[in-house]
Amino acid sequence: MRWKRTIQLLDVHCEGEIGKVAIGGVPKIPGNSIAEQLHWLNTDPKGQELRRFLVLEPRGAPIGSVNLLLPAKHSEADAGFIILQPDQAHASSGSNSICVTTALLESGIVEMKEPETVVTLDTAAGLVRATATCRDGRCEKVRLTMVPSFVHELDVGLDTPQWGRIKLDLCYGGIFYALVDVGQIGLKIEKANAAALVQAGMVIKEAINRAMAVVHPEISAISGVAYVMFRDIDADGAIRTCTTMWPGRADRSPCGTGNSANLATLHARGKAKVGDVFKSRSIIGSEFEVGLQAETEVAGKPAIIPTITGRGFTFGLSQVALDPFDPMAEGFAMADVWGPSAGDI
């Protein structure tokens, strides 16, 4: 073959959300920390080229992420990783952490020990500790101890031409979220409304990032609202979520970082305390357990340590390659499947 570049991908999904894991052929990423590597991927043309190569057509697809498996920079970690999506490289993700843990254990990169294996992941947002329940060579479920989550601001008012003035919470759960009670836009979180929810999420995300700047007080590489997550309460008390992702799709999982951010709002409002465990349900009905493990601080701000428990499943193994004569090496996206903002990619 005359391929210029090849990368091996282990196909994994977490509760329906695809998080492919690049386990071979990943080029060296400059940086002395995962946060510095994240910054390089988002600012250097070669970093952006790698992301586009893996996530855009004709090699990629709108649904899911690609996780770059990297050598850990932290002495306590087993592996590092960074999440690649169409808009940029991202610092943290609960569903992708579960996909990466499952990939590491079921591929043998990290030795699986039964009945439980602890895997420490080095991310740009900090260390994520994954406790995997293992049996018969399979990773049955993963409990993540997430990075500290905190409220940036509650009840932020935002004027919109479509829905008038709405309120949202700006919170951090590994990345920044705008959390919106879905009733304010006249919709319910169900599969039939996925397209309408995504369109609303894109409008709100653009408006809030235009109106407000958010930067992590200790990690400058993490800034801006990455996602809008709509939330509701099901009849059984479960938290129903729909995280909307640029340029135009809905997270299939309940969303680990989004639920971490939302848990920080419940704690701040006195609706959650240490030891509480909540059920969160996605737009397709898959579930996470969300727990409040401890209270802490980030740069003097009250914060919490959340836990997220879910399942990952491997479903394939593939190799992505680049023909040096391919005129579409940079990748592309089309509005028919990527959403109305695809022309901006």
CA distance 275 to 42: 37
Q: Are 78 and 119 in contact (CB under 8 A)?
A: yes
3-state secondary structure of 124: coil
Catalytic pick among 255, 260, 282, 341: 255
* 56: number of Cβ within 10 Å: 20
Q: Is the previous residue joined to 45 through a cis bond, with omega within 30 degrees of 0?
A: no
Q: What's the N-to-C CA distance of the chain in angstroms?
A: 30
Residue-wise pLDDT tens digits, 180-224: 999 999 999 999 999 999 999 999 999 999 999 999 999 998 999
**What's the one-letter identity of residue 108?**
G
Mark whether 255 is an active-site residue: yes
* Residue among 119, 12, 111, 113 nearest 67 (CA): 12
Q: Is the pLDDT of residue 166 over 80?
A: yes
pLDDT in tens, 99-138: 999 999 999 999 999 999 999 999 999 999 999 999 999 9
Mean pLDDT of 259-273: 98
What per-residue confidence (pLDDT) applies to 257?
97
Domains, the chain, ordered by start: 5-145+313-344 (3.10.310.10), 150-310 (3.10.310.10)
**Residue 1: CB atoms within 10 Å:** 6
Q: List pLDDT tens digits, range 293-302.
A: 999 999 999 9
Measured CA to CA, the distance from residue 283 to residue 240 in angstroms comes to 7
Helix (H) or strand (E) holding 278: strand 277-281
Q: How long, in residues, is the chain? A: 345
Crossing angle of helices 256-268/94-106, nearest 10°? 130
Q: Which two tokens stand for residue 336?
A: 């028919």
To the query of whether residue 93 is one of the catalytic residues in this protein, the response is: yes
The one catalytic residue in 65, 93, 97, 286 is: 93
